[in-house]
Each structure stands twice: as structure tokens, then as C-alpha cells.
Structure 1
Amino acid sequence: MQVTSVGHAGFRIDTRAGSILCDPWVNPAYFGSWFPFPDNTGLDWATLGDVDYLYVSHLHKDHFDPDTLRTYVNKDATVLLPDYPVPDLRRALEELGFHRFFETTDSVRHDISGPKGELGVMIIALRAPADGPIGDSGLVVDDGETVAFNMNDARPVDLDVLAADFGHVDVHMLQFSGAIWYPMVYDMPARAKEAFGIQKRQRQMDRCRQYIAQVGATWVVPSAGPPCFLDPELRHLNDDHGDPANIFPDQMVFLDQMRRHGHDRGLLMMPGSTADLTGSQLNSLTHPLPDDEVEAIFTTGKADYIAAYAERMAPVLAAEKARWAPAEGEPLLEPLRARFEPIMLQSDQICDGIGYPVELRMGRETVVIDFPKRVVREPIPDEKFRYGFEIAPELVRTVLRDAEPDWVNTIFLSTRFTAWRVGGYNEYLYTFFKCLTDERVAYADGWFAEAHDDSASITMDGYEFQRRCPHLKADLSKFGVVEGKTLTCNLHGWQWNLETGRCLTTKGHELRSRAL
């Protein structure tokens, strides 16, 4: 098996039974904020796209790149389709011309007989509202000789199926770096923001190491990040200036952490790097540049590399910004009312979970998204808010113009906004902004309404508590860390007070717990 990095979370996997292209991303995403790092525009995309199978893990724009898929990828390729409750991904691929789909069943091994032989595949589909834009997934591939697990940025809660259906995993590709806007966009004191950034940076790498330990693969490829920020307004977000609070560490940082924790089989790959494997034997690892030049991109020469990259991509970024809607125009109150109020009327669980009016500032105009009353309105004099956002009006006008169903996957991941809140993170609020269609909000509201079994218990460090995390049902025997009276689930960093069971991260989501 040959595994070739095509940048970020993208890989081409060549097997004896056929070739698979996974998550090819080239063009800037999220209002021109994210670019692949390192630069992958020089790859031979016509050759890379001539494959037997296509796998797109989910609809985040750093995984689903419609221009690249439309222009370069063989439309007769069989799409390995995750088992999602809402068919948005299939529809998006059909619009691009793909017409052959193999519909997988979540966490079930399928043995596909193709013209070049039999290929074992499994897609672990995550279907909670917090998983990507209504879904995220990881792909397992077995060509009868080598097993690869491309987890990208998915966060599976049960990996026992790997050993049961595939035995030993030979190579494991997974996310280790940040893919979020927290804490950078929040209006908070600089010292607090730095402390939260340091905590976030370490926690995401700890989570990655926990997954590595669970899967137990021979070789590990850190991937699916970090993004590169080339806009001068965002250049400070790159981890190229020794900031311990930067949440976007690169592959070399994580490989060093792996070594310090006793794991020396991490592989550094950049776009164009190819690992040739026979089972767990690494036959070769080749790069498109000499090894010292590859390492310099991630270390001593990183800032200069990004500066040169930004200069090359300046026309691309300018063209991206030219597509935005004008900042000036008619007042935004009525368009937002028309967009949000029908969705609010369908989402009792989500609106009640948000529980407060939310302030939305857009240049000179401010509106209030009043979730308790299910209306969008003008602010009341001296009104106070628990949650608020400040977003440039041109971004709001663009997503309204485009009938964008997911502000999280456009505005928020761009980091081109400011947020503030009193108290903890509110999962319901961000779920609302990613579910701006009837299908999505119906599914998400129903998901929150379902009762989940929390009858199984575990004991840890003097406490007994429910085994499944109240957030997304992660196994706390694997992801739980107890420090004093505080339980942290490292899957998403949520915390609980073990004395009271109260969630310290957001309202609701109580934990059943007691001291022993």
C-alpha cells in the first residue's frame, strides 16, 4: 500500500484493489482565512484525481473542496459514502457530477469487489449535532496486506470495532492541531486568553495521544492541520513566533511530543510525501524535497515560508474577497428575521437550551436573536446579553445572499468575528447556527430530545460516575481525567464537578456522580 499526502487531511491511498482519494482540499476556505499548510497547489491534481474511489469525510470546507472535486476528480469514481442522517453530502457530490455511490453502514466492514480486486472498508460515522456540519467520519481501508485508518479530524467514541474487524492497524492518520476559533475571537483579558490558549493547545494534543494509544497502530501520521493564515489581518494566528498559547501547532511540534512520551514511529508528511508499506513494514518514506528542506518548512524557515506563500496567494485571496457581498445595503433586520424565525419555531430543544436573547452587532446595525420568544428584533435600550457576536456586515450579507445553511462552517471558522459570553460555552447556540435548514434542525432538535442511557458506571480516583459522557457519549473510562473534584472529558474538553455532578462547561448536561 502507498499512502500519499495531498495536503491537510487529504491522502491518496493506492492499493492492490484500487486507489482512493480522501478529502482533497486546495482552495482557500472560510472566507479566505484558511489555506493548506504546506502549499499543495503544485501537485499534479489531474493525476491524483484519476482514482477508483473517492472518500469525502464531511462537508467542512477544508475537506469538501467543490472546485477541486469538479475540476480534477474522476466522476466515474465510486464514492464511499458515510452513513449520515441528513443526505447533504450526497446531494453536494451529485451536484458536482458524481453518480456512483457505495452507501456504507456506520461502523460495519464492507468487502467491495471491484475490477482490480477486493477491498475491505469501514466508515465510522459520527452523527451528533456537534460532529462537523451534521456528521464527521473516519475511513478504514484493508487491501489484504495493510490496514490504514484515516481518522482525519473525527472523534470516534468507540474504536473496539477496529480490532474486531481488521486486527492490527498499520498506519493511523489523525488530527492533532486546532480547528476552532476559541479562544482567539473572544473578548476577554489577554492573560485569560493566553491561559485558555495554552490549555487548549495541550488538551488537543493529549486527546490525539489518547487516540494513538487506543488504536495502537505501528505508524502514525499527524494530519488534518494546521491551517495556514495568509491574510495580513490573520497572520498572527500561525504558530511561527514561539507563542505557547497558539492552538495551531504543526506536525513537528506534535512529533516531538510523541517522542517525549515514548512513541518514535510518527511520520512527517507534506503534500507529495509517500509512505510505502507492506503490512507494518515501512519500505520507504519519500518527500518532494530534500529532507532538510522539508524540516525547515516546519521549523527554522517557517515564517519565511509563510511570507512567500502569502505573496504567491495574494491574487487568490483578493479574488476570494471580491466575491463577498458589499458591506452597505438595506437593513439586515428583515432578512435575518426571514432566515432565522422559521428555524427557531421548529427548534424547541435548541432555543430552550440557548435560553437567552443573543446580541448580533453588524457594523452600525445591531439586532437581537431572541431565542426564548423565537423572534428576531431590535434591541431594547440598556438591554444586557449573556451571549453576543460582532460580525462584519459583508460576511452576514454574503451568507444571506448564498442561503448558507451553516454559519459555523463559514463565518465562525473564518475567525473573522468577535464573541463574548457570560458563563460557559453553549453547545445549543452553535448548533443552531449550523442547522439553518428544515432537515438539519429537525434532526438536531430530535437528537437533543432523545433520552440516552447512562446506567453504566465507573470508578476513578475516589468517585463513581456514569461511564458515558453526558455531552457526546464518549467512554469516560478512556477519555476521563480526574483532578481533585473536577472530571475532564478529553474528547472535547468538557468538565464536571464530581461532588455535585454540575457541568462546568455549559448549562445542562448533568453528570451522575458520587464520592466513594
Structure 2
Amino acid sequence: MQVTSVGHAGFRIETPAGSILCDPWVNPAYFASWFPFPDNSELDWDALGDCDYLYISHLHHDHFDPRHLSKHVNKDAVVLLPDFPVPDLRGELEKLGFHRFFETEDSVRHTVSGPKGELDVMIIALRAPADGPIGDSGLVVHDGTTTVFNMNDCRPIDLDVLGAFDAIDVHLLQYSGAIWYPMVYDMPARAKEAFGTQKRQRQMDRARQYIDHVGATWVVPSAGPPCFLDPELRDLNDDHGDPANIFPDEMVFLDQMRQGGHDRGLLMIPGTTASFTGAQLDSLTHPIPEADVEAIFTSGKADYIAAYADRMAPVLAAEKASWAPAAGPAMLEPLRALFEPIMGKSNEICDGIGYPVELVLDGPEHTETVVLDFPERIVREPVAGEKFRYGFGIPPELVRTVLRDNEPDWVNTIFLSTRFRAWRVGGYNEYLYTFFKCLTEDRIVYADGWFGESHDDSAMIELGDWQIQRRCPHMKADLSKFGVIEGETLTCNQHGWQWDLKTGRCLTAKGHELRCEKL
């Protein structure tokens, strides 16, 4: 088997039964905030796109690049389709001209038959509302000799399903940040630094836990970090020795792996090819000298990003020119037309949010405040002197653009762009961000039902000196694998949520109580 990095979470996997192109991303994402790192724009994309199979893990725009798929990828390729609860991914691919689909069943090993032979695949489909835009997934491929697990940036709850394969030889794994926290929040600089430092380490700890559980011979850090080329966002790059930066690169994580006793991590950049025979690495070939590869991530990183920004300045300018203008009529009525029907179909989510949320559209050419009153299921103007527990400040041109484009997911556009600010009193509100992901009837009905249905949380485990429920109250991760106890605090490293073991109270968000007792 031959695995070629095509940048970020993207790979082309060559097998005797055909080639699989996974998550090719080239065009800037999230209002042109994210660019692939290192630069992959000069690859031979017509050749890479002439594939037998296409796998798109989910609809986040650093995995699903519709302009690139439309221009460069073979429309006769068989799409390996995850088993998602809503048909959005298939629908978006059909719009681009893809017409051959192999529909998988969640976490089931399938044999795909093609003109070049048979290939065994499994797609682990994550279906919780917090997973991507209603769905994320990981792909296992077995060609008869070698097995690769492309986990990209999904976070499987149950890894026992990998037992359908004898062993995992190669593990393609996300390890770096893909979030806006804590950078966009209004908080004291010292607190922001502390939260960022904690976030940086926890996401790498979680990735190392996955390495231990999967047990692959070779690990390829992938799916991050993005590169921020806009001068307004350049400080988000991890190129200036900031211990609170949540976007560590591959070299940082490989060093973490080595410190943990794992010395079979592979550094790959766009164009790097690794060949495997089972668990044996036959070759690793970079498109440039190895010393130059490492310099991209070490001594030459700041200069590399500066030169990259210069090359991409026209691309960034064109992206910004495509946004809706900031100036224009008031947005209260368009926002009311968008949000109120969704509120009316989401009792669990609106009750879970539990309070009005302030939306400040503030820019040099337009200033307006709109209140999303979730208890009343209405969108309204603020009342004089009204206080809010949660609020967002978003440039009006971004809001006008997502309204113009009928965008069903503000997380996948505005929030991941980091081009906004936020403030809150109290913990993170999962229901609120889920609402912003689900701005269609299909999505909101599914998400509301997911929160409303009961889960079997009866199983208990012993962890340290405590007996706790096995499944995390947040996303049902197995706490025997992802739970870490320090003192009287439990942390689930799948998403970093925490609980007070003395009381079972969730320290991250309201609700989500944990059953626990001291042994």
C-alpha cells in the first residue's frame, strides 16, 4: 500500500484494487481564515483527482472543498459514503456531479468490488450533533496486506470495532486545534493564556490516548494545524514560541510522541509518499530534501508563513471581495425569518440554552444588536438595560454573507473563522453551538431528538479511588479509556469536559451530571 499526503487531512491511498482520495482541501476555508499548512496548491491535482474512490469524512470546509472537487476530481469515482443521520453530504456531492455511491453501514466491515479487484473498508460514523456538521467519520482500509486507519479529526467513542481487522498498521491522526477557544473570548489575558496552555496540552494528550488504544505500528500526525495568512490573524500561527497557542504543528506532536516512548511517528508534507507492506515501512519519500522539510516546522517556519502569505495575498483579496457588503438594511427581520422556525422545532435545544443570547453586529458601516430569545422562541430587539449570559460580536458582512448564501451552519463558517468575539457568564453551552450547526429542518429535528432520547448509562467502572458511570454524560465516550482523575476532578479527554467527583456536578457546562461515589 502506498499513502501520499495531499495536505492537512488529505491523503491518496494506492492499493492493488484502486486508489482512494481522502478529504482533498486546497481553497481557503472559514471566511478565508484557514489555509492548508504546508502549502499544497502546487501539487498535480488533476493526476491526484483521477482516482477510483473518493472519501469525504464530513462537511467541514477543511475536508469538503466543493470548488476543488468540482474542478479536479473524477466524477465517476465511487464515493465511500458514511452512514450519517441526514443526507447532507451525499446531497452536496451530487450537486457537484458525483453519481456513484457505496453506502456503508456504521462500523461494519464491507468488501467493495471494482474493476481492479476487491477492497475491504469500514467507515466509523459519528452521529452526535457535536460531531462536525451533523456527522464526522473515520475510514479503515485493508488491501489484503496492509491496514490503514484514517481517523482524520473524528473522535470515535468505541474503538472495539477495529477488532474487525487483525491489526492497524498505519494510523492517520489529528492532534492539533480546530476551535476558536479561548482566543475569541473576552477574558483577562492571564486567564486566556492559562486556558490556551491547558487546551494545547489536552488535545495532544487525547491524541496520544488514541495512539495507545489503536496500537498501530506507524502514526502520521495530520489534519492540522491550519495556517492563518490574513495579517489580522497571523498571531494565531504557532511560530513565535507561545505556550498557549492551540495550533501546535506536526514536529511538536512528534516530539510529544517520542517523550511518551513512541518513536514510529512519520512526518509527511504535501507530496510525501510512504509505502508499506503490512507493518513494514518500505520507503518514505519527500518532495524536497528532508532538512528543508523539517525547516518548514522549525527554524524557517515564520519565514515560510510570510512567503506563503505573499503568494496567497491575491487569493485572500478575492475571497474577501466575494463577501456581502457590511452596509445595508437592518438584519432583524432576516434573522427572525431564519431562526424562529428553527426555534419552533427545537424544544430540547432551546430549553437547554435556557436564556436570551446577544448578537452584536458591529462594524464601521453598520451597528445593530439582535436578541435570540430562546426561552420565548423569538428573535427581537434588546430591552434597555438588559443583561446577557452569552453574547457574540460578529462583523455584519459575515452575517450578511451567510444569510445571502442560505448557510445551514454558522459553526462551519463564522465561528471557525475566529473572525468574531464572544463573552459569557458561566460555562460553555453545548446546546447553543449545536443550534448554530443545525439551521435546517432536517438537522434541527435530528439534533433535538438526539438530546431528547434516553441513553443507557447503567454501566459503572472503577477509576482510581472512585466508582463512576462508564459512559461520559457529554458524548458517551468510554471513561475507562478517556477518563483521567486528578484529585477530586474527572476529565474526559475526548473533549476536555470536567466533573467534580464529590458532587457529580459538571464543571464545563450546566447539566450533564455524573454518577460517582468514593470507594
TM-score scaled by structure 2? 0.99
Shift of 1:318: 0.3
SS at match of 1:327: coil
In structure 2, the residue matched to 1:341 is: 340
What code does the residue aligned with 1:95 have?
K
User: After superposition, where does 1:344-493 map in structure 2 within 5 Å?
Assistant: 344-363=343-362, 364-493=367-496
Shift of 1:382: 0.8
2-structure distance, mates of 1:460, 1:282: 37
User: After superposition, where does 1:78-477 map in structure 2 within 5 Å?
Assistant: 78-162=78-162, 164-363=163-362, 364-477=367-480
Cα deviations by residue, 1:173-204 (Å, 9 ceiling, x for unpaired):
01000000000000000000000000000000
RMSD over equivalenced CA pairs, Å:
0.5
Shift of 1:462: 1.5
2-structure distance, mates of 1:286, 1:146: 19
Cα deviations by residue, 1:51-107 (Å, 9 ceiling, x for unpaired):
100000000000000011001111000000000000000000000000000000000
In structure 2, the residue matched to 1:2 is: 2
Shift of 1:499: 1.1
110-119 vs 92-101, which deviates more? 110-119
What code does the residue aligned with 1:368 have?
V
2-structure distance, mates of 1:89, 1:303: 36
Shift of 1:459: 1.1
SS at match of 2:193: helix
Please say if 1:15 is aligned against 2:11. Answer: no
Shift of 1:312: 0.2
What code does the residue aligned with 1:100 have?
R
In structure 2, the residue matched to 1:496 is: 499
2-structure distance, mates of 1:460, 1:309: 48
Cα deviations by residue, 1:279-304 (Å, 9 ceiling, x for unpaired):
01101000000000000001000000
Shift of 1:377: 0.5
SS at match of 2:19: strand
Shift of 1:484: 1.0
1-structure distance, mates of 2:285, 2:21: 19
Shift of 1:161: 1.3
Aligned length: 515
The gaps in structure 2 that reach 5 residues or longer are none
Please say if 1:514 is aligned against 2:485. Answer: no
1-structure distance, mates of 2:452, 2:166: 37
What code does the residue aligned with 1:46 have?
D
2-structure distance, mates of 1:506, 1:423: 8
What code does the residue aligned with 1:37 have?
F
Shift of 1:463: 1.1
SS at match of 2:201: helix
SS at match of 2:269: coil
1-structure distance, mates of 2:215, 2:342: 44
SS at match of 2:324: coil
Shift of 1:383: 0.5
TM-score scaled by structure 1? 0.99
Shift of 1:114: 1.1
2-structure distance, mates of 1:14, 1:68: 20
Shift of 1:461: 1.9
What code does the residue aligned with 1:151 have?
M
Cα deviations by residue, 1:460-488 (Å, 9 ceiling, x for unpaired):
12111100001110000000001111100
SS at match of 2:155: coil
What code does the residue aligned with 2:316 have?
L
What code does the residue aligned with 2:374 have?
F
SS at match of 2:485: strand
What code does the residue aligned with 2:445 have?
A
1-structure distance, mates of 2:421, 2:492: 27
Shift of 1:165: 1.1
Cα deviations by residue, 1:122-141 (Å, 9 ceiling, x for unpaired):
00000000000000000000
SS at match of 1:431: helix
